[in-house]
Amino acid sequence: MTKYTRPERRPAVVTGASSGIGAATAVRLAAAGYPVALGARRVDRLEALVQQIRDAGGEAVAHPLDVTDDASVEAFAAKASADLGDIEVVVSNAGSLRPGRIDEAASEVFTAELDVNVVGAQRVVRAFVPGMRARRRGDIVFVSSDVAVRARPFMAAYAAGKWGLEGLAHALQMELEGTGVRASIVRPGPTWSEMGMDWSAEDTEMVIGGWIRFGLARHQHFMQPTALADAIAMIVDAPRGVHLNLVEVNPEAPVEDA
């Protein structure tokens, strides 16, 4: 792991940290000298990641977190602050993606998606931003998706959630104007992650078939989660007086042989 250094101690939390972008971000921030608190439902994954970070010389703790539960979010925030001190950086990454046809999906599916992707983010805001506002310092980064502006078939609940997340984030940016607290959005394009790994074969065929039908799979390339971790580190490392409101990150096509 590349070791970075920071001149100051800025405790950070990462939600949805058990895999993918969340795990990569936790590792990246810890390597940069941020003490990090990891939150997710899969505690065994978190504990292994904490050990990895500590073995590399970083500072990390982990606690269970379910962003759909008020009490869980509040308990996580209290434990993270008790372990690391005042939290200055929050990466709101927890998300959910369940495919399906709009006209066949039960309302409970949409409700569950929105609860994780939008309301869950608001719970995280409520748990951490008031303290940042009081201290007049802090960063919160929302991990969105390119489906927030380029919807795909059979992913309507996820797209609606990410559109809603960006609406929440933009409103928060305005509410925090002049407080010293920065709210930012990172909007990744296609990225390798565990989302979709537990889909049925039928769901996978439906989604990929939809992409092909509408030309969305043409020239499709994927990034590693570490690319997003680097972008998030860039956002929170921006000097005071600079606000990276929205950073869109897309994979670059491989260079073709001459």
4 is catalytic: no
81 is catalytic: no
Q: 213 by DSSP, 3-state: which?
A: helix
Residues 6+ apart with CB under 8 A from 129: 90, 138, 140, 172, 176, 181
Query: Per the structure block, which two tokens stand in for 59?
Result: 């500072």
Left, alpha or beta for 123 (phi > 0: left; psi -120 to 50: alpha)? alpha
Catalytic residue among 18, 19, 162, 193: 162
- Measured CA to CA in angstroms, residue 76 lies from 13, 40, 79, 87, 244 at distances of 10, 10, 5, 12, 27
Catalytic residue among 19, 96, 145, 158: 158
144 is catalytic: yes
Catalytic residue among 144, 145, 184, 193: 144
Catalytic residues: 144, 158, 162
